[in-house]
Structure 1
Amino acid sequence: MLAFNALQSVQQALPKYRSSALGRPGRTEEAEAEARRAYKTEQGRRWYKHNPNGADAVAAATKAADAARERTAEYLLATRLEQLREQTAVRTEQAAAATWAARLTELAARPLDGEPAGTVIA
Structure 2
Amino acid sequence: MTRWFRSYWAEDDTWFYVEADAGGGVTRQVELRGPLQKPVAAAASVEEEAARRAGTLVGYEATFGATAGVPVGDWDGYAPQDLTAEEFEAVWVTARAACVTSARVRSARGT
Normalising by the residue count of structure 2, what TM-score does the alignment of the two structures yield? 0.28
Q: Which has the larger strand fraction?
A: 2
Name the structure, 1 or 2, with higher relative contact order (CA <8 Å, separation 6+): 2
Rg larger in structure: 1
